[in-house]
Amino acid sequence: EVQVTINGRSFAVPKAYSILEAARANNIFIPTLCAHPRLKPIGRCKACVVDMEDGNLAMACSTKVADGMSLRTDTPRVKAKAAAVFRELKAKTMPAPPVRRLDRSEFENTFDAVTACDVDTNGMITIDPSMCVDCGRCEAACSKMQEMGILESTGSGVRPHGGLRLDETRCIGCGQCSSFCPVGAISEVSHIERLYAAIAEGKTIVAQTAPAVRVAIGEECGVAAGEVSTGKMVAALKALGCNYVVDTDFAADLTIMEEGTELIGRMQKKWAATPEQAEKMGPMFTSCCPAWINNIEIRFPEYLDNLSTARSPMMMMGSVVKTYFAKKMGINPADIFHFAVMPCTAKKGEIDRMQMVTGGMKVVDAVLTTRELGKLIRKHHIDFPALPNQEFDSPIGASTGAGRLFGTTGGVMEAALRTAYEVLAGKGISTLSYTPVRGLAGIKEASVEIPLKDGPTKTLRIAIASGIANANVMMCDIQAGKRSYDFVEVMACQGGCIGGGGQPKSLDPKIIEKRQSAIYSDDERATQRKSHENPEIMAIYKEFFGEPNSHKAHELLHTTYSD
Binding site for ligand HC0 (CB under 6 A): 210-212, 248, 252, 288-289, 312-314, 342-344, 347, 406-407, 412, 491, 496-497, 500
Contacts of 298 (CB under 8 A, 6+ apart): 170, 172
Q: How far is the CB of 123 from ligand SF4 (least distance, A)?
A: 11
3-class DSSP state of 347: helix
By beta-carbon proximity to ligand HC0, the closer residue of 282 and 502 is: 502
CB 86 within 8 A of CB 111: yes
Identify what 172 binds: ligand SF4, ligand HC0, none; CB under 5 to 8 Å per kind: ligand SF4
Give the DSSP letter of residue 337: E
Q: How far is the CB of 468 from ligand SF4 (least distance, A)?
A: 8
174 binding ligand SF4? (CB under 6 A): yes
By beta-carbon proximity to ligand SF4, the closer residue of 203 and 348 is: 348
Q: How far is the CB of 549 from ligand SF4 (least distance, A)?
A: 33
**Rounded-to-integer distance, Cα 314 and Cα 299, Å:** 24
Q: How far is the CB of 411 from ligand HC0 (least distance, A)?
A: 7
Displacement of CA 530 from its chain's centroid (Å):
28
195 binding ligand SF4? (CB under 6 A): no
Question: How are beta strands 125-127 and 120-121 bridged, if at all?
Answer: antiparallel
189 binding ligand SF4? (CB under 6 A): no
By beta-carbon proximity to ligand HC0, the closer residue of 59 and 351 is: 351
142 binding ligand SF4? (CB under 6 A): yes
Displacement of CA 336 from its chain's centroid (Å):
23
Helix/strand/coil (H/E/C) assignment for every residue in 268-312: HHHHHCCHHHHHHHCCEECCCCHHHHHHHHHHCHHHHHHECCECC
**Rounded-to-integer distance, Cα 372 and Cα 506, Å:** 15
Q: How far is the CB of 492 from ligand SF4 (least distance, A)?
A: 8
Q: How far is the CB of 493 from ligand SF4 (least distance, A)?
A: 9
Taking alpha carbons only, the member of 32, 137, 29, 45 closest to residue 92 is 45
221 binding ligand SF4? (CB under 6 A): no
175 binding ligand SF4? (CB under 6 A): yes
CB 451 within 8 A of CB 524: no
Own/partner pairs, 112-120, CB within 8 angstroms, 24+ separation: 113/29, 113/31, 114/31, 114/47, 114/79, 114/82, 114/83, 114/86, 115/83, 115/86, 115/87, 117/79, 118/79, 118/80, 118/82, 118/83, 118/157, 120/76, 120/159, 120/160, 120/165, 120/166
By beta-carbon proximity to ligand HC0, the closer residue of 221 and 497 is: 497
Q: How far is the CB of 341 from ligand HC0 (least distance, A)?
A: 9
Q: Please count the other Cβ atoms lying within 10 Å of the Cβ belonging to residue 451.
A: 13
By beta-carbon proximity to ligand HC0, the closer residue of 32 and 516 is: 516
**Rounded-to-integer distance, Cα 476 and Cα 487, Å:** 16
By beta-carbon proximity to ligand HC0, the closer residue of 186 and 493 is: 493
By beta-carbon proximity to ligand SF4, the closer residue of 136 and 439 is: 136
Identify what 308 binds: ligand HC0, ligand SF4, none; CB under 5 to 8 Å per kind: none
Among 13, 83, 125, 417, binds ligand SF4 (CB under 6 A): 125
What number of CA atoms fall less than 13 Å from residue 198's CA on the CB side?
Answer: 23
Q: How far is the CB of 485 from ligand HC0 (least distance, A)?
A: 19
Taking each continuous run of H as one helix and of E as one strand, the counts in the chain are: 21, 18
467 binding ligand SF4? (CB under 6 A): no
By beta-carbon proximity to ligand SF4, the closer residue of 230 and 470 is: 470
By beta-carbon proximity to ligand HC0, the closer residue of 157 and 495 is: 495
**Rounded-to-integer distance, Cα 153 and Cα 136, Å:** 6
**Rounded-to-integer distance, Cα 276 and Cα 274, Å:** 5
Q: How far is the CB of 379 from ligand HC0 (least distance, A)?
A: 23
Q: Please count the other Cβ atoms lying within 10 Å of the Cβ belonging to residue 264.
A: 17
- Contacts (CB under 6 A) with ligand SF4, residues 152-171: 171
Q: How far is the CB of 23 from ligand HC0 (least distance, A)?
A: 45
By beta-carbon proximity to ligand SF4, the closer residue of 143 and 230 is: 143
Interface contacts to ligand SF4, rule CB under 6 A: 125, 141-142, 146, 148, 150-151, 171-177
